[in-house]
Amino acid sequence: MFAPVVSAVKKYNLLREFVLREIKGRFAGSFAGTLWTLVHPVANICIYIFLFSLVLRISVTVEDTGTDSFAIFFLAGFFPWLFLAETLGKAPGILIGNASLITRVVFPVELLPLASCGAVFITNGIGFVIFLIFLAVKTGVYLSWLWVVPLVFLQFLFVMGVVCFVSAASVFVRDFAELVPLIVMVWFYGTPVIYPVSMVPESLHPLLGLNPMALFIELYRGVLLLHRIDPLAFVQVAIISFLSYAVGAWLFMRLKPAFGDVL
């Protein structure tokens, strides 16, 4: 279970190279290069502010969401969602795409999903920071924002567990490459990213409680917009995150000896 963490510490330089390779590979051949990590989030913020403020004009209340701007409400949940969606979308190809490396070179294979998660969290984290700067200019800075740090850490653990599971299982069941995009799409609409929880019928609230990303996004919005933390929800996501990582890492290490034969 602790093998990915131990490998990350022992092989830190190798992990760093994998992360840099992921980031540079994403923008390989482009003139702007890694500058796109700034352009994309700024463009997203501008587009959604224009769309929700001037075109659709969807209204939310300060009492319910902490803001009267639907664009800010949406972005406070959208960037955390991207942490999961982009990483999970890449998960089926993490090991399969590195088959030649895995079968020819002896190295800690568990660094590959860790590097993929790290690269996505770094690139999307830049966008999240830009959003926080925008939010600070609009509303000011609050001490509650400090909770963002442990939330990002817990979400990284949760996502890491899911990615370890999917990437390992995809080596043996190639259908995951087709199944994951469908899961991400259904998961997105089942998570209150584009709508407040108050719009969900009371009878369905227990289902939202079973959705880890719903809990995460409500916590992010709570500390950023309502300036408070829900202790019970925080404990829930902490337990879920550590369980996700433990199960995902255990399965990955259990299946690791067979990767070379199957790939």
> Is 25 part of a structural domain of the chain?
no
Name the token pair of 241. 């995150």
Name the token pair of 212. 């880890």
Structural domain count of the chain: 1
| Residue 153: per-residue pLDDT | 96
Question: Any residues with CB less than 8 A from the CB of 244 and at least 6 apart, and which?
Answer: 157, 158, 160, 161, 162, 212
> Is 229 part of a structural domain of the chain?
yes
> Is 211 part of a structural domain of the chain?
yes
pTM: 0.91
> Is 27 part of a structural domain of the chain?
no
Q: How far is residue 259's CA from residue 198's CA, in Å, rounded to a whole number?
A: 46
Could you tell me the residue range of the domain that residue 126 belongs to?
A: 32-257
Instruction: Read off the pLDDT band of 243 (50, 70, 90).
Output: very high
The arithmetic mean of pLDDT across residues 89-97, rounded, is 91
> Is 9 part of a structural domain of the chain?
no
Question: What percent of the chain lies above the pLDDT cut of 90?
Answer: 47
Residue 33 reports pLDDT greater than 60:
no
Q: What angle do CA 204, 206, 208 make, to 5 degrees?
A: 75
Give start and end residues of each alpha helix (H) in the chain. 3-10, 12-26, 36-50, 62-65, 70-90, 93-96, 99-104, 111-139, 148-172, 176-189, 205-209, 212-221, 231-262
Instruction: Read off the pLDDT band of 85 (50, 70, 90).
Output: very high
| Residue 166: per-residue pLDDT | 95
The arithmetic mean of pLDDT across residues 119-143, rounded, is 90
Instruction: Read off the pLDDT band of 152 (50, 70, 90).
Output: very high
> Is 13 part of a structural domain of the chain?
no
Residues in the chain: 263
> Is 55 part of a structural domain of the chain?
yes
Answer yes or no: are the C-beta atoms of 96 and 263 closer than 8 Å: yes
How far from 43 is each of 30, 38, 88, 126, 178, CA to CA, in Å?
17, 9, 23, 13, 29
> Is 12 part of a structural domain of the chain?
no
Residue with tokens 């989030």: 41
